[in-house]
């Protein structure tokens, strides 16, 4: 089939709830994807941060192939060694918590919201989230997402959510009352424009949650699994949350979500309070274990720090050449380029020249390459962006 044939088929049979780029992708390897016309595209935003160790990493592929011959799925009325092993590996790299498995970041956040309410004293039902956040598209996660445009067509939304500006300690403190069950924030806002939480802000949230018997939830769906230069984003700060949520890079391309809670908090989620039919699926857990092993065997967190700094330096140099760039921000390989004008046209032109990046909040270009990215690939990406900016 041709590109036009596939797009025509989508127009006729697939619900049009996504803005799609005009390419039909049929293959991915490492930091590149290939369309059906044979074009090679350097992917600096792989799978919306899902392919954190690159497309079709050999270790993940091998683990999936092996597991597919043994057991694809088993319901959670039985034990499986794989699910226990993945939970153990995560706990050993975080704060020793216990994990509930599901299928996506939105599901993980829904689980966290429910756990916070069931764990805290009766009467606590409110959640504080921050403006510009993104926590998912299900009803609870959508309401937690403090971007009113996301739910303007879905009123009334879930009651009990209070929104405050990001990195504003005074606003956070004023929002607390006896009815607050939890604060949910991202250590680095992804869709919000790569906004990095300050250390003072994170410590203030920890203090306020402790003072008010509330739960501190960190949405690590984008910041988790090494991308920022630590296994988890919270590890950049001298705080330990009560709950973190994971997804995206955890499965290396296979759908999986996870909510990890401190043992005393996790104990509140007893049989009958929450579940996920596919959660802890054998195939997904095998992939998750392979992802963790690959990150450690190939020193990919160290690479995220090293190449992340290299990319920052290159992009800051680009800033000196193009007045449209205001500044660069982020951590590790989670990088935002703040523009002084909208960036959609830049993204489209880059794709035409073989580079895939993303634009969020209209004026922030997102670079979130896989942790296997090499300096030469950063050079190539910056060169393409440089050429596009010269002609915008």
Kindly report the three-state secondary structure assignment for every residue of 222-245.
CCCCCCCCCCCHHHHCCCCCCEEE
pTM of the predicted model over 0.75: yes
The catalytic residue among 23, 166, 219, 331 is 219
The stretch 388-392 carries a mean pLDDT of 93
Task: Give the integer Cα–Cα distance in Å for 15 and 63.
Answer: 33
Residue 361 is classified by DSSP as T
Whole-number pLDDT of residue 29: 98
What's the rounded mean pLDDT across residues 93-103? Answer: 97
**3-class secondary-structure state, position 265:** helix
Single out the residue of 215, 216, 207, 249 nearest to residue 232, CA to CA.
249
Helices 300-319, 375-390: inter-axial angle, 10-degree rounding = 20
* Residue 248 bears catalytic tag: yes
Of 112, 146, 60, whose CA–CA distance to 268 is shortest?
112
Q: What share of the chain is helix, strand, coil (3-state, %, to 5)?
A: 40, 20, 40
- Mean pLDDT for the stretch of residues 135-157: 94
**Catalytic residue status for 134:** yes
Q: What is the CA radius of gyration of the chain?
A: 21
State the pLDDT at residue 85. Answer: 98
Q: Is 22 exposed, middle or buried (0-12, 13-18, 19+ CB in 10 A)?
A: exposed
Catalytic residue among 98, 248, 314, 331: 248
Give the pLDDT band of residue 28 (cuts 50, 70, 90).
very high
Assess whether pLDDT exceeds 90 at residue 135: yes
Residue 33: closest CA among 386, 354, 378: 354
- Rounded to an integer, what is the distance from CA 2 to the centroid of its chain? 32
Phi, psi of 313 (to 5 degrees): -65, -45
What percent of the chain is modeled with pLDDT above 70?
Answer: 100
Distance separating alpha carbons of residues 206 and 246, to the nearest angstrom? 20
Q: Which residue has the tokens 């705080």?
A: 239
d(CA 215, CA 107): 18
pLDDT band at 120 (very low <50, low <70, confident <90, very high): very high
Share of the chain above pLDDT 90, in %: 98
Q: What is the mean pLDDT of the chain?
A: 97
Largest interatomic CA distance in the chain: 61
What is the per-residue DSSP string for 24-68?
A: -EEEEEBTEEEETT--EEEESSGGGGT-TT-BT-HHHHHHHHHHH
Q: Which two tokens stand for residue 27?
A: 């293959």
Residue 148 has pLDDT above 90, yes or no: no
Q: Across residues 283-297, what is the average pLDDT?
A: 98
The arithmetic mean of pLDDT across residues 151-180, rounded, is 96
- Strand 355-356 to 257-261 pairing: unpaired
Per-residue pLDDT band at 353 (split at 50, 70, 90): very high
183, β-bridge pairs: 128, 216
Active-site choice (100, 101, 134, 166): 134
Bridge partners of 235, per DSSP, are none
Average pLDDT of 20-28?
95
Has 242 been annotated as catalytic?
no
Residue 286 has pLDDT above 90, yes or no: yes
Given pLDDT bands bounded at 50, 70 and 90, which one contains residue 392? confident
């Amino acid at each position: 089939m041709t590109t036009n044939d596939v797009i025509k088929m989508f127009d006729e049979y697939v619900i049009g709830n996504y803005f799609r780029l005009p390419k039909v992708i049929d293959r991915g390897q490492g930091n590149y994807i290939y369309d059906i016309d044979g074009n090679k595209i350097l992917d600096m935003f792989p799978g919306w941060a899902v392919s954190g160790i690159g497309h079709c990493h050999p270790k993940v592929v091998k683990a999936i192939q092996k597991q597919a011959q043994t057991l694809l799925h088993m319901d959670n009325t039985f034990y499986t060694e794989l699910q226990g092993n993945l939970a153990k590996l995560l706990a050993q790299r975080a704060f020793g918590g216990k994990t509930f498995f599901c299928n996506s970041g939105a599901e993980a956040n829904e689980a966290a919201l429910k756990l916070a309410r069931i764990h805290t004293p009766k009467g606590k039902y409110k959640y504080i989230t921050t403006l510009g956040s993104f926590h998912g598209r299900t009803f609870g996660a959508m309401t937690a997402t403090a971007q009113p445009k996301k739910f303007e067509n879905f009123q009334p939304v879930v009651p009990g959510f209070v929104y405050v500006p990001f990195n504003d300690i005074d606003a956070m403190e004023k929002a607390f009352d006896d009815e607050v069950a939890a604060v949910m924030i991202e250590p680095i806002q992804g869709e919000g424009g790569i906004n990095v939480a300050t250390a003072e802000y994170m410590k203030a949230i920890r203090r306020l949650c402790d003072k008010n018997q509330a739960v501190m939830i960190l949405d690590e769906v984008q910041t988790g699994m090494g991308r920022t230069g630590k296994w988890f984003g919270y590890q950049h700060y001298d705080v330990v949350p009560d709950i973190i949520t994971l997804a995206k890079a955890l499965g290396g391309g296979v759908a999986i979500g996870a909510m990890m809670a401190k043992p005393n908090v996790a104990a509140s989620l007893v049989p009958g309070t929450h579940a996920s039919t596919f959660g802890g699926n054998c195939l997904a857990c095998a992939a998750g274990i392979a992802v963790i092993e690959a990150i450690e065997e190939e020193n990919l967190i160290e690479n995220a720090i090293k190449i992340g700094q290299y990319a920052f330096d290159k992009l800051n140099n680009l800033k000196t050449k193009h007045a449209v760039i205001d500044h660069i921000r982020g951590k590790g390989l989670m990088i935002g380029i703040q523009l002084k004008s909208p960036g959609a046209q830049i993204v489209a032109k880059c794709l035409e020249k073989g580079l895939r990046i993303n634009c969020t909040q209209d004026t922030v270009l997102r670079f979130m390459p896989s942790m296997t990215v090499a300096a030469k690939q950063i050079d190539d990406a910056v060169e393409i962006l440089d050429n596009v900016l010269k002609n915008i």
